[in-house]
Amino acid sequence: MHPVTNRHELRTFIDIPWRVYSDDPMWVPPLRIERRLHFSKFNPYFK
């Protein structure tokens, strides 16, 4: 593992659940925009 340092790596990280659970018919994916906002520098947690 290593820290995410750029947008491409962030997108790859966010897309992991789609790859892991792609065969699970019961999986309800989160909204990608919500995941991006969760890891955004504007999230109060990161301030």
Sign of the CA dihedral 11, 19, 44, 5? Answer: negative
**Rounded Cα gap, residues 10 and 27, in angstroms:** 22
Q: Where are the domains of the chain?
A: 7-21+29-46
pLDDT surpassing 90 at residue 5: yes
Q: What is the pLDDT of residues 11-45, one digit of tens each?
A: 999 999 999 999 999 999 999 999 999 988 888 98
**What pLDDT score does 46 carry?**
82
What is the rounded average pLDDT of the residues 2-6?
91
**pTM tops 0.85:** no
**What pLDDT score does 1 carry?**
85
Host H or E run for residue 20: helix 16-20
